[in-house]
Amino acid sequence: MELSLQQMLQTSSMLWRRLDQPGHESSRLSYMQDGSLLTGTAVFGHERQACRLDYTVECDKEWRTLSASVAGWLGGTTIVVKVAADSSQRWTLNGAECPQVTGCRDVDLSFSPSTNLLPIRRLSLRVGERASVRAAWLRFPTFSLEPLDQVYERIGESLYRYESAGGAFVAALEVNSVGFVTNYPNLWKQQWTESQR
């Protein structure tokens, strides 16, 4: 997908530092006439191996995931992953059907805080509201696509209570006006943000 100059000017970007291990991630959200594009690069360590992952997530106007790709490397292993969802929310992973995630509207990249933005924007919750969603979770480092039940509850103007796996994981996510997570306790912390919209 090629962006026009006008579309490229309508962007928001974020830089995070990892808190649980060495690493950084940068991400950019570009707004387009027919949806949005989330792109980024994560650089971190995993089990004493260096890792670099470049990703792209394309969404429609309702913030439903249309496609996602991840490319890079983990140690000596090359990573190339392509995910797609059709209008009936039927998903494929590198061309193979994934019926276990049929009906999911969001992709969730397990190595990144960027994709929390997708349900936050799609749900557009008011303070005090909550919603349950099931995401197509791209698990790191296996890069399998699995269903992950999640709950988002907006408990403040810029604060969400997030839980997944039936409450096995709970976190208070601070977000900015765009929807990017700015503080993900014990995992990621904003270092820099910029909005041009």
Model-level pTM greater than 0.85? yes
pLDDT for the residue 1: 37
> Is the bond preceding 185 in cis, omega lying within 30 degrees of 0?
no
- Find the domain containing 93 and state its range: 5-195
Residue 98 in this model has a pLDDT that exceeds 60: yes
Residue 172: band (very low, low, confident or very high) from pLDDT cuts 50, 70, 90: very high
| CB neighbourhood size of 39 (10 A) | 18
Report the alpha-carbon distance of residue 175 to residue 117 in Å, rounded.
9
Listed in order, strand segments (DSSP E) in the chain are 11-18, 23-32, 35-46, 49-59, 65-74, 77-85, 91-93, 96-97, 107-109, 130-138, 145-156, 159-164, 169-175, 181-184, 188-195
* Domain count along the chain: 1
What is the percent of the chain with per-residue pLDDT over 90, rounded to a whole number?
Answer: 90
For 17, the token pair is 């530092």
| Cα distances (Å, whole numbers) of residue 83 to 9, 26, 55, 107, 139 | 27, 21, 11, 9, 12
Q: What is the mean pLDDT of the chain?
A: 93
- Compute the residue count for the chain: 197
